[in-house]
Amino acid sequence: MCDKDNPLSSMENILHVLIIDDDQRLRILLKRYLSENGFRVSGACSAKEARNLLDFIKPDALILDISMPGEDGLELTNFLRENGNDLLIILLTARGDPEDRIIGLEAGADDYLGKPFEPKELLLRLKSHFRKKSNVSKELKLSPIRLGSMEFDPVLNVLKTKTGLVHLTSGEIDLLRIFASHPNTILSREKIMKQIGLEEIGERAVDVQVTRLRKRIEIDPKCPKYLHTVRGKGYILKPYF
């Protein structure tokens, strides 16, 4: 293992973050900083090592560098999403082009952070994601919405079917919660973009997130029954209550 700490130590009620980056100095810096701010932190220097760790641990979030030797961060993100892993993924990237960030969202990432960055910015993004997941829907006091045979509970942040739960990423939950709070209402891309924090990428990032969400809630994503595009205006969710 690249890091000397034991990632399997038991620490209840503490959010667990796995940092995957081949830059040892950055891993050490982030592990120290996040640990000092109340997180349990493990580290891996490659996607291969991360895969091995994920057989034994279940972190709440991945901080994942895109550019690594061997399997890169985008490939690992794709692998995790294709296998139903819905944990929070924040990509670290030195690529400033919004198109590269769109590719990250298409792969299934929830957020991105451009290098170089201040550790405090990463801390704030983590706290923001976890805060939205645990508190925002309760404050809104939203009722569950029906999507055919499925039901989305915006308090528990789960999408239920008759046979079980549908795995949703943090980004997909945020987007579905926005629509759940405004059923049968047209929402502009600009409004959605601001609420899910994608202003720096642009409106196309909203289209990417909507495409991902449709794959979860629609029988035929190319012919949506619930989440509709309103040309020139935005999107509208038409649930069955």
CATH code for position 186: 1.10.10.10
Sheet of 16-20: strand order equals 40-44, 16-20, 61-65, 88-93, 111-114
Whether residue 151 sits in one domain with residue 118: no
Whether residue 175 sits in one domain with residue 83: no
What pTM, to 2 d.p., does this model score?
0.69
Whether residue 127 sits in one domain with residue 230: no
Domain hosting residue 229, numbered range: 141-237
> Is 5 contained in some domain?
no
> Is 154 contained in some domain?
yes
> Is 9 contained in some domain?
no
> Is 172 contained in some domain?
yes
pLDDT at 4 over 70: no
> Is 182 contained in some domain?
yes
Whether residue 162 sits in one domain with residue 110: no
Whether residue 230 sits in one domain with residue 205: yes
Q: Which residue has the higher pLDDT, 44 or 104?
A: 44
Number of domains composing the chain: 2
Whether residue 189 sits in one domain with residue 122: no
Cα–Cα distance, 238 to 241 (Å, whole number) = 9
> Is 121 contained in some domain?
yes
pLDDT level of residue 130 (50, 70, 90 thresholds) = confident
**Last-in-domain residue among 133, 163, 180:** 133
Max Cα distance, the chain (Å): 54
pLDDT at 162 over 80: yes
Over residues 18-72, the pLDDT tens digits come to 999 999 999 999 999 999 999 999 999 999 999 999 989 889 999 999 989 899 9
pLDDT average, residue stretch 137-165? 78
Cα–Cα distance, 41 to 18 (Å, whole number) = 6
pLDDT level of residue 8 (50, 70, 90 thresholds) = very low
Q: Which residue has the higher pLDDT, 213 or 156?
A: 213
Cα–Cα distance, 228 to 11 (Å, whole number) = 44
> What integer pLDDT is reported at residue 65 of this predicted model?
93
Whether residue 103 sits in one domain with residue 40: yes
Whether residue 32 sits in one domain with residue 107: yes
Whether residue 83 sits in one domain with residue 184: no
Cα–Cα distance, 22 to 185 (Å, whole number) = 45
**Last-in-domain residue among 133, 161, 189:** 133
Tokens, residue 181: 């709070």
> Is 229 contained in some domain?
yes
> What integer pLDDT is reported at residue 11 of this predicted model?
41
Nearest to 34 by CA among 60, 53, 54, 9: 60
Whether residue 107 sits in one domain with residue 151: no
Whether residue 126 sits in one domain with residue 24: yes
**Last-in-domain residue among 83, 107, 133:** 133
Nearest to 179 by CA among 138, 228, 139: 228
> Is 1 contained in some domain?
no
Whether residue 160 sits in one domain with residue 200: yes
Q: Which long-range contacts (CB under 8 A, 24 or more apart) does 122-126 make?
A: 122/30, 122/34, 122/63, 122/90, 123/33, 123/34, 123/37, 125/90, 126/15, 126/17, 126/34, 126/39, 126/61, 126/88, 126/90
Contacts of 58 (CB under 8 A, 6+ apart): 16, 87
